[in-house]
Structure 1
Amino acid sequence: MAGSSESGSSPEEEMQISFANHSFFAPKKEINMFPDMGKWKRSKAYADYVGFVLTLNESVKGKKLTCDYKTSEPVEKLILLLNTLDRWIDETPPVDQPSRFGNKAFRTWYGKLEKEAENLVSNVIPRELSAAVVEAAVYLKESVGNPTRIDYGTGHEAAFAAFLCCLCKIGVLKVDDQLAIVFCIFDRYLQVMRKLQKTYRMEPAGSQGVWGLDDFQFLPFIWGSSQLIDHSTLTPAHFVDEKIVNEHHKEYMFLECVRFINEMKTGPFAEHSNQLWNISAVPAWSKVNQGLIRMYKAEVNIKDPVALFKEAPEFSSLS
């Protein structure tokens, strides 16, 4: 956020002026050909997004999901939003169909979100920033999966992170909300997405199969490994031990992700999750965390389907 001007106006007043001079509009896909990726990687939007992920990564370092943290009014409103999405799943049961995967009832569920997204977001964003609703709502709609393919992947996850990043940029979420963003909002988002995946048997979007980190998620492995840095007893070798995972999954995102994999897949862990199996051999969580960040930048954040973002205004951020 900019400092006070010579006229003595407060940062809040300057921010109002900045927003008054900014036009919000619905994001559109800007990466259409491979050469466009260079433009994306050089953009401020890319730097803002990566900075957002890394700032949250640092904020959760060494902390449990069950630790104490503040929950502001915007955080509580976002939880209500996610609770609404969860309730719609209950109200939209799967339909009988020949195909085992990709239940078409997801399209009915998604139709509700498409219709109500701006209303849901307007309940989170204050009235004086209502012009931002049309922009932020697109990221929310992009964050739950594709209604045509009935699939979900790390690009959709990134859209939700971008949604939260947008709320930080316009000052709805504050620096004091950092832990709540990961441990409360994002954790609740993961719960809803897992329920969607199980209920409608969604396909993995862009999955690399056994050679990918996970069929659906990536960010909780990054932030979850940061939680475990310098843990007194748990090492990377422990997450392949199902007993230990079941004992500690409510405290650490990484282990909750592994628990969900164990629930959804059968057979030896080394076969169905080879990348994770290899990671279990890394001696320290700090090394795991650093490696996952490099992998995220290389394998997720520069891939064409993920790059929906447009240039963001220079307002306050978590950095």
Structure 2
Amino acid sequence: MSEIMPDDHVYVVPRKMVLGMGDMAAWTKSEAYHEYVGFIYALNDAVKGKSNSSANPASQKVEHVLELMETLNKWIDEIPPVDQPQRFGNKAFKTWFKKLTEDADVELKKMLPENKHNTITEIAPYLIQAFGNDIRIDYGTGHEMSFLFFLCCLFKIGALDQTDKTAAVCLIFKRYVEISRKLQRTYRMEPAGSHGVWSLDDYQFVPFIWGSSQLMGHHRIEPSMLATEAVVEDNYNEYLFFGCIKFILEVKTGMFAEHSNQLWNISGVDSWSKVNAGLIKMYKAEVLAKFPVIQHVLFGSLMTLKESKFKMGPGGPPRMAPPRLQRPS
């Protein structure tokens, strides 16, 4: 993860810059791409073998971010869904989203020290885009990615410290995912894209990556147990992966192997380290390499489309070759 930005850095309003398929090559060679993939790996390593509760006590900087998240959560309670004929896409989400758009600057000023207020111009749009689209009333991996850009920027501006990496996953990101799910259920949000084609549970992807890292080396829980109801109930609050599975089991009916086939395949892999490596490979191919996702990404001075001097191989930082996530027949 990169060094903190200097005090005299000039922040800009980030904007969309990947406007066509021809721009995808610039994205995969960009500083933003390499920084983001490095960020995924760094936090993946930070939570290896660690449960969510192991991140306590949180630093004061982490507490400030969590206070912001609780404010957003409170707004959901204050803005109930409206009575309307259609089943999906409750229009009350537009009201919640409008409040986020209008109040983001104020809430970020509460979160940040005064000498960081000049960063809000650039980081606020990432926060605003992180919870869904107010026109389509949907949510997907692009919105998740926007929050992770926001989180990465917090490290870059010094609003979080390097020692906060574990808490960034186990506390902040966990709370973000919980709030996103509450939004999805409260306002009946649609999965963005073709019914979650670039995710594992219609909405999220990264909790499965970092969640599988948390489970590496676990003395008792193996991938084959990922859909075992008792294991899920005992561990959903401690491990992101099982938080995801619990959500799936609550919102979907029928056989797990049918409604969550990709996860069923994963349950046949023999170790969490192989699951983790395979999921990172899948994320690069199915999210980071997809124009329908990247066309919405915002680029500024913190996450820039300038070509990176660092040449990373197609597999990212050196890792054991990930297996195909295919359940043995």
- Cα offset, 1:303, TM superposition: 2.1
SS of match in other structure, 2:154: helix
Q: Deviations over 1:176-232 (max 9, x none)?
A: 101110111111111111110110000000145589522111111000000111111
1:238-274 per-residue CA deviation (whole Å, 9 max, x = no partner) reads: 0121121111212111011001000000000011111
Stretch moving more, 78-87 or 124-133:
124-133
Once the two structures are overlaid, the 10-residue window that deviates more, 206-215 or 157-166, is 206-215
Residue matched to 1:265: 252
Flag the 1:211–1:106 CA change in 2: closer, same or farther, 3 A.
closer
Superposed displacement of residue 306, structure 1? 3.3
Tell me the alpha carbon deviations over residues 4-27 of structure 1, each in whole angstroms, 9 at most, x when there is no partner.
Answer: xxxxxxx9xxx67x331x221111
Shift of 1:302: 2.6
TM superposition shift of 1:130? 1.6
Identify if the C-alpha distance between structure 1 residues 111 and 222 changes in structure 2 by more than 3 Å, giving closer, same or farther. Answer: same
Percent identical among aligned pairs is 51
Q: Deviations over 1:52-105 (max 9, x none)?
A: 111000000001112143412221111111111111111111011110100000
Deviation digits for residues 135-159 of structure 1 (CA, Å, limit 9, x no counterpart): 1000000000000000001110010
- Are the structure 2 counterparts of residues 75 and 305 from structure 1 closer, same or farther at C-alpha, using a change threshold of 3 Å? farther
TM-score, normalisation: structure 2: 0.87
Q: 2:189 maps to which residue?
A: 202
- Aligned partners of 1:238 and 1:70: how far apart in 2? 30
Q: Residue 87 of structure 1 is aligned with which of 49, 61, 74?
A: 74
Are 1:107 and 1:150, in contact at CA under 8 Å, matched by a contact in 2?
A: yes
Q: Separation in 2 of the partners of 1:192 and 1:73? A: 21
Residue matched to 2:7: 19
How far off is 1:121 after superposition?
1.4
TM superposition score normalised by structure 1: 0.90
Amino acid in structure 1 at the alignment position of 2:18: I
287-296 or 76-85: which moved more?
Answer: 76-85
Check whether the contact 2:198–2:287 (CA below 8 A) recurs between aligned residues: no
Shift, 1:124, TM fit = 2.0
Unaligned runs of 5+ in 2: 304-316, 318-329
Does residue 133 of structure 2 align to residue 146 of structure 1?
A: yes
For 1:193-272, list aligned pairs within 5 A. Answer: 193-208=180-195, 212-272=199-259
Amino acid aligned to 1:61? K
Q: Retained in 1: the 8 A contact 2:199–2:205?
A: no
Give the 3-state SS of the residue equivalent to 1:143 in structure 2: helix
- Larger CA deviation: 122-131 vs 59-68: 122-131
Report matched runs for 1:1-319 at 5 Å.
18-20=6-8, 22-208=9-195, 212-307=199-294, 308-310=297-299, 312-313=301-302
Greater mean alpha carbon deviation, residues 169-178 or residues 125-134: 125-134
In the alignment, residue 135 of structure 1 is paired with which amino acid?
A: E
Judging changes above 3 Å, is the alpha-carbon distance between structure 1 residues 302 and 120 closer, same or farther for their aligned structure 2 residues?
A: farther
Gaps of 5+ in 1: 3-10
**Distance in 1 separating the partners of 2:93 and 2:195:** 23
Give the count of matched residue pairs: 302
Contact persistence 1:211–1:273 (CA under 8 A)? no
| Structure 2 Cα separation of the partners of residues 212 and 98 of structure 1 | 29
Residues 1:210 and 1:112: Cα distance change in structure 2 (over 3 Å): closer
Shifted more, 211-220 versus 93-102: the winner is 211-220
